[in-house]
Amino acid sequence: MLGLPNWKAKYDPKGLTPHPRDAPTRKRPSIVSVPLPHQPATATTLVVASSSAVYTLANTSPTASMASTGSVMLATSSAQLEMDSGAVKKNTTLICAPVMAGTVKEMVTQLDEAKSSGAELVEIRLDSLKNFSPHEDLKTLIKASALPTLFTYRPKWEGGQYDGDDKSRLDTLRLAMELGADYVDVELQVAFEFNASIQGSKPEKCKVIVSSHNYENTPSIEDLGNLVARIQAAGADIVKIATTALDITDVARMFHITVHSQVPVIGIVMGERGLISRVLCAKFGGFLTFGTLESGAVSAPGQPTIKDLLDLYNFRSIGPDTKVFGIIGKPVGHSKSPLLYNQAFKSAGFNGVFLHLLVDDVASFLQTYSSTDFAGFSCTIPHKEAAVKCCDEVDPVAKSIGAVNCIIRRQSDAKLFGYNTDYVGAISAIEDGLRDSHNGSSAGASPLNGKLFVVIGAGGAGKALAYGAKEKGARVVIANRTYDRARELAETIGGDALSLADLENFQPEDGMVLANTTSIGMQPKIDETPIPKHALKHYSLVFDAVYTPKMTRLLREAEECGATIVSGMEMFIGQAYGQYERFTGLPAPKELFRKIMSKY
């Protein structure tokens, strides 16, 4: 179990005292738990588990000045701010827009865009300018910005573009302070020198961010703690640490540092696996997060757009008591689940946020994020089968299928419960497609009864559809690249098996149903298909679980061959009904779901 390391006592012992009790026992002591204490706005104590003892960390009022080095940047449910729209902002985390351009004129345009996009701060990256006249250009940029300004002049040795001498660079940052900058960013390597040079002359309004960037990995929690101590010792008003996520579990260490710090902290974990650090910093008390003006125009790997922060993740509605949900997968960036659930959460007034979670090892992920704050997950390729073993209890249907696509963490004891809603969504959509093609006949019996139902894929989704089709009376055939896996699933459900290579010539009868449950044809490989077009003429209905794009090559060619087609979007929406109700305890907003997804 990881908790607050001993680094705090090394440097800043204020408010840190050993607790007389031993560390509390947990059911799974090896789990890294990332809970967020729920506390009133008055001064209180935060109990932090350590490997050797339990410490109490004094916490000042969250309404104290965010820029003060004595403040704890830990938001509480009462630390709410009024937003321009009149709605309540549930966190104090700022959205900062990086401004990067080759000319000052372009930067001025971006400064206007940052304000209108909803940013609260701009980071002006001076190292991106091709031609730079410090005195004149700094005055122009400061005057042109309607938002507080953060000036960064990043050298190449710290991942930036500046390739000159440090004296000129630091002189420029000092000049920015004199001319009215609100913040300057100085690298830890030169921070002692810089802060010594401004001693006694530092403008009162300007705060110094001392930063450290690690483009290789995320250090241990003890090393991160020692790094915070070094940055504090260098004279930082605000600590900034940016590391790189090799695994999504790396971010948990940054959350620990952020939530338990006594100074304002910007804790960013770069890369797609670190995305949650850029969103959940609002929950764990981070000073700011970076959001780009447009997709791809990033100043560091993994930055979301301001639009995504505000509109996709409802960033300003995230507070310390917000429950975290997400879709576990690899790949996962294509998923529309965050779009669907976050809009539904907002519409219902449900205090939750739903994230993309790029997970390599599902067991490690669930063990690391073991707090009840991480309340539920959708599970997609390739983790649906492995997730079964991670759950404390599994629904009988999901157990029969051998795969789960929905995991709920029970709030009373943090136990994990696994469910499968895939088969209901997919089978219902396929049945509806068959009924429509036969003018709605046989309302009492399933139109799948007696049909030859060919499933491509023997993974989690393949198991779900094979199980569902068999339950409806279909004769099931499993086709898979690896024949042994196809045979194993076929034996389990009572069907037949063949290799995917043999599917092209498999045509025992006409009117069959085909269901692709693999990722073949999914973005970005949209030109791929699991079966040649000429073989599709023997199928009356073709279903594709892939829904990005909505019209896959498989579906397009099947339609050209005269088959009824059913998009994976139908399965996606259908399975989401059950998951939403388990996540929230509320009825699924079916009309809203269809309205949201009709745009894609």
The answer to whether residues 517 and 457 touch, using CB atoms and an 8 Å cutoff, is yes
In the block, which residue shows the tokens 């780009």?
A: 292
160-216: pLDDT as tens digits:
999 999 999 999 999 999 999 999 999 999 999 999 999 989 999 999 999 999 999
422 is a catalytic site residue: yes
Q: State the pLDDT at residue 87.
A: 61
What is the mean pLDDT of the segment spanning 506-514? 96
Active-site residue identified among 202, 207, 213, 336: 213
* Model pLDDT for residues 468-492, shown as the tens digit of each residue: 999 999 999 999 999 999 999 999 9
Catalytic residue among 137, 308, 373, 422: 422
281-294: pLDDT as tens digits: 999 999 999 999 99
Annotated active-site residue 384? The verdict is yes
Can you point out the beta strands (E) in 136-284? 149-152, 183-187, 207-213, 238-244, 265-270
Is pLDDT above 60 for 50?
no
Angle between helix axes 188-197 and 221-233 (nearest 10 degrees) is 20
49: pLDDT confidence band, cut at 50, 70 and 90?
very low
List, for residues 121-150, the tens digit of each pLDDT value. 999 999 999 999 999 999 999 999 999 999
Whether residue 59 is predicted with pLDDT greater than 70 in this model: the reply is no
Catalytic residue among 283, 356, 384, 470: 384
- Which residues lie below 8 Å from residue 599, measured CB to CB, with a gap of 6+? none
Least confident of 25-39, 75-89, 289-303: 25-39
> Average pLDDT of the chain?
86
Placement of tokens 């989704």 in the chain: 461
Q: Does 45 score more than 50 pLDDT?
A: no
Q: Which residue has the tokens 């997950």?
A: 377
Provide the residue type at 472 as one letter: K
Q: What is the pLDDT of residues 309-349, one digit of tens each?
A: 999 999 999 999 999 999 999 999 999 999 999 999 999 99
The tens digit of pLDDT for each residue in 538-568 reads 999 999 999 999 999 999 999 999 999 999 9
Active site residue: 8, 240, 283, 538, which one? 240
